[in-house]
Structure 1
Amino acid sequence: MRKLSHNVQCHCALIDIDQNSLSESNEDSVDESEIETNKLAGRLRIPELGFSWDDKTKLAVFSNAETSSDDEQELKEDLKQKKKKLNATERREQERQEEREIRQREEALVSNQAPNSIDQFDRLILSSPDSSLVWLQYMAYHLQATEIDKARAVAKRAIKTINFREENERLNVWNAWLNLESRYGNAESLNDVFQEAVRTNDAYKVYMHMLTIHADAGRKIELQKLIDTVISKFKQDPQTWIDCGAALLKIGMKEESRQIMQRALQSLPVSQHVNLLVRFANLENKLGDKERAQTLFENILSSYPKRIDVWSCYIDCLIKSNDIDLARKVLEQACVQTLSPRKMKILFMKFINFEEKYGTSEAVNRVRQMATDYVEKHK
């Protein structure tokens, strides 16, 4: 592996296809092969492009996996004969099965030696042409040697090679390419790649990734312009407002983020306001001011004291901030509410679990007694 000179570091971010991109509320569902790829990608972080080589996890080098040309020819002829006898549905299923087998072989051939030449990467690509992980590693390989044009060429080649049905794999490459242009290109090259990415992918996902890019790069003017565009296009989606607010908080633009929250309340139905406020409160606790987060939660609970989900989020927020004493006070306040037995049971159980983890045996017994007294009182 060629070594990157010590004064050049790569730090474009590889999007985890999990991302808590900016918010803890994002959830993705992926199949087993995608989960395995994401696990590998998570261990392959290189500062500036988003990957790094982990000595414990290396991609396979196919040194002992070749078969004779006669066997390959015979296998191809057998497959042709079989495909002639299959209908369209069966052929598609067979193709999917072959793709799964390729992925399995790739995983089975993982060794302790990383690819360290163009030839080795090309062999990996021949084996798994639709694997974004291989292409991203190939890009990182060139970036480690500061060969920016070659890394860019790999991205272009990947986009042309990956099957158009593999939307997530293609999007991973586009995101990495955007990261590359943001770090090593210029405003024009970044915009060109961005416009093409929007045209050929899920536009919403590309816009959200660009929010992250501008925030990470500290481009306040560009970020504000992009937010205006994003809101005009996707203002009916609550996640749009959350991501925009998070990007602004991440770059230190707290007041602008709070203005986004107010605009969101004006644009979205009242039925979505509580959940929206809770999510902005969590953002403030994570990226902004903890005191403001507490104020938001208190305001919500003053209007909706029966929302035990909000009580629970507030308590979890305080625990994450290590405000254990305040979390205990909030639990005390929650457990004196007059709610249905089912809701009170949930609150008491949360209080007991809290004291078991952060309190003493005496505190646990006290909460149990509180629960018993409540039951006796409401028989």
Structure 2
Amino acid sequence: MGNSSGKEEGAEGAEGADGEEEKDGEDEIPEKKKEEKEEEVELPLGVEELFESGDPVLDISYKKFKRLPLRVCSLLHLEKLYLCGNSLRNLPDSLSQLQGLRTLALDFNKMEDVPPAVCELRNLTRLYLGSNRLMNLPAEVKNLQNLRCLWVESNYFQRFPRELYDLPNLKSLQIGDNRLKTLPPDLVRMEALRGLWLYGNRFETFPKVLLKMEGLEILDMDRNKISEFPSLRRLHALRLFSYDHNPVEAPPPVREEVLVVGEGAAEFLEIREARIERRRKAAEEEAELALAAEAGEEPVIHGILKNSNANKSEMAEETDGNGEMEREEEEMLEEEDGGPLVDYQEESQFETQDMYGDGDMMEFEGDELEYDTVQMDYEYEEGPELEEVGRQEQRA
């Protein structure tokens, strides 16, 4: 009986081995068929010519691909690849061969996770993953050490992805239209960050950690539920602050060089501009007086003797009236601990770009972060390096 059981066991083992070999064989065949099937994906008109062109930019957006044609993964000369507006859920591992890629756009697809192959593209500087189904980022994203611009807007992030702390060169982060309620207190670790878009989230209070982000140049808090903003005058690098569609009627105190967008911002900017103009004229008059004094002449400006007693009386009355108005403006716009505002002489670095895509979004450019121009249903435009998704239509 022992022999018979041994034989049975041996037979079962043999059958198991044969079964495994057979199973392995069965697995190989479908895999080959799958690859062949992917290779045989019918290409839309004109795509084959794009593959053969040798152009370092390939745009096959809005072609209704459910799988990426494997032919793409053999185009080792590519530097920019646009796959927006398809129905991609994943990407083949062989995409990691494209080590020359600098820009990869995967907006408006159906991805629930960032494909592993993307995290192997170590020379990427711009990655666009907006309007997918992402809830988090993989730990492997830290491989993208050259990444400077990341767009993950219109996804399902409920917490800020701390995996981004390991990206030392990330300057522009677009994470609007998600489900964030708070920001982590150690966000200050992202020292290179210059542009941060948080519009369309679920903030009810202004995240205090942002007051420590002294390198920020662009901060967008549109379409949240914030009823009170603190002074932002300590953010010396700030150039654009947008707070539209929050339950407030006026902007917080900011430095004079900051462009503000939101309820009450127009009146705020008009008052500020009038004050700056008065200061400019006063400075010109003082300069003329000083020149006249050096020449030993009695100063005359606009035909009026500045040293006459009658004119002094008129000037005193005018000064009292204007001074009272200016003091009211100063009290409204300056904090107790703030010093006198300084004139900003630099030229604004930000430009509004073209609308694109189903997301009704608009691009905003600034220093050193760009979105690239290719022919597609919505346009990515080449420019300097800080960029914004303007959302005027979404905010309307």
**TM-score with structure 2 length normalisation?**
0.35
Q: Which structure dedicates a bigger proportion of its chain to helix?
A: 1
Larger Rg: 2
Higher relative contact order (CA closer than 8 Å, sequence separation 6+)? 1
